[in-house]
Homo-oligomer: A and B are copies of this chain.
């Protein structure tokens, strides 16, 4: 689906919470050509209003439902402070929008998409995200509730990495999205939306990469193997071509570096680019019947028989790298995951080595605000599946309602 980039102010205003949430951070178009516009328009910060306006025209009967759309686009939020890849005024994302005939179906969609994101992070990006529900303060403006996946960066800072919103009938009432249900009664429809963004690139950098450049998990690396022949020897060139052909045929993304730069330069460039595996073919190794495969993630160099089954060898190595990257990221996250029962414990953790802090909360927004005084710590999510830590709010000591995971955020 392709929806317009500009949203007229009156359309944006129909759902009150949404405009209140976004008004301080949208860019306004006020002039077209040399003329002042009669009504200013904002560059979309998100597209619920546009989809809702569209649904109101096409949804008539339960037979029309569900409708599920996805849009790839960039959106704009006029952030005061920006950080490359993590928080930029313009960012690229996919935004999914769905409308359903029942609350149960819409809620299932909301949870299913959170699962898709969590799985994608784990299996492709090798990032172990935690999942849960946002507090009222942190949820999306206009949502009944927001589910979130949260990742932990190498330095213990949290990153909201993907969200899935259940809107119930909030938008359908504001935009008049009604349908005839199976009982032939008019009913307001149930909506969801969900998205992940180019912020994922920031997460990849801040979870896996090092001072020598990117470290990309094999499952999403655009180039998985770079083959570097050392010297001009014809035997070496032929072997490189054989490897390239064999690997490409097997569906592995592999490429010979044919430029005329030095081997050292080529090694360094492959490292900067985060290519997971590098095959180095040099005469000294080859005289022993060997080649070298270098791992980007651990920098380990492995001597392998030159006439090995290169497809099998590389495929196994890429799988190992993928698994190891997830395991290391998980171990680091776990090492930086804490439990706090008192505010003193909480403060000590965040002032030493921050990370995810599990702590109970009474549900009072004032206690949430109090925690923000600790280096800006916010609730990441309510862990709905976990029992309470100790039963007492970490701030006020009153009986706790929620097991919350907290963190300093980007």
Interface residues of A (CB under 8 A from B): 2, 4-6, 23-34, 40, 43, 73-74, 76, 78, 89-90, 92
Question: Cβ of A27: which chain B residues have Cβ within 8 Å of it?
Answer: 6, 29, 31-32
> Is the pair A78, B43 in contact by a Cβ cutoff of 8 Å?
no
> Is the pair B90, A6 in contact by a Cβ cutoff of 8 Å?
yes
Q: Can you name the residue of chain B whose Cβ is closest to the Cβ of A25? A: B33
Q: Tell which of B30, B31, B74 touches A2, judged by Cβ atoms closer than 8 Å.
A: B74
> Is the pair A26, B30 in contact by a Cβ cutoff of 8 Å?
no
Question: Cβ of A25: which chain B residues have Cβ within 8 Å of it?
Answer: 33
Nearest CB of chain B from residue A19's CB, rounded to whole Å = 13
Q: Tell which of B30, B76, B78 touches A5, judged by Cβ atoms closer than 8 Å.
A: B76
What is the bound-complex CA distance between A78 and B32, given in angstroms? 6
Q: Can you name the residue of chain B whose Cβ is closest to the Cβ of A198? A: B2
Nearest CB of chain B from residue A198's CB, rounded to whole Å = 8
A-B contact pairs, 24 of them (CB 8 A): A2-B74, A5-B43, A5-B76, A6-B43, A6-B76, A6-B90, A23-B33, A23-B34, A24-B33, A24-B34, A25-B33, A27-B29, A27-B32, A28-B30, A28-B31, A28-B32, A29-B29, A29-B30, A29-B43, A31-B40, A32-B78, A32-B89, A33-B78, A73-B74
Question: Cβ of A74: which chain B residues have Cβ within 8 Å of it?
Answer: 2, 5, 73
What is the bound-complex CA distance between A2 and B197, given in angstroms? 14
What is the bound-complex CA distance between A78 and B5, given in angstroms? 13
Given contacts A43-B5, A74-B2, A90-B4, contact A31 B33 (CB under 8 A): no
Question: Cβ of A33: which chain B residues have Cβ within 8 Å of it?
Answer: 23-26, 78
What is the bound-complex CA distance between A32 and B40, given in angstroms? 12
Question: Cβ of A4: which chain B residues have Cβ within 8 Å of it?
Answer: 90
Question: Cβ of A2: which chain B residues have Cβ within 8 Å of it?
Answer: 74, 92
Question: Cβ of A26: which chain B residues have Cβ within 8 Å of it?
Answer: 33
What is the bound-complex CA distance between A336 and B74, given in angstroms? 43
Inter-chain pairs besides A6-B43, A6-B90, A27-B32, 9 sampled, C-beta below 8 Å: A5-B76, A5-B90, A23-B33, A26-B33, A28-B31, A28-B32, A29-B29, A29-B43, A32-B89
Question: Cβ of A34: which chain B residues have Cβ within 8 Å of it?
Answer: 23-24
Question: Cβ of A40: which chain B residues have Cβ within 8 Å of it?
Answer: 31
> Is the pair B32, A29 in contact by a Cβ cutoff of 8 Å?
no
Nearest CB of chain B from residue A25's CB, rounded to whole Å = 5
Nearest CB of chain B from residue A324's CB, rounded to whole Å = 31
What is the bound-complex CA distance between A32 and B26, given in angstroms? 6
Q: Can you name the residue of chain B whose Cβ is closest to the Cβ of A35? A: B78
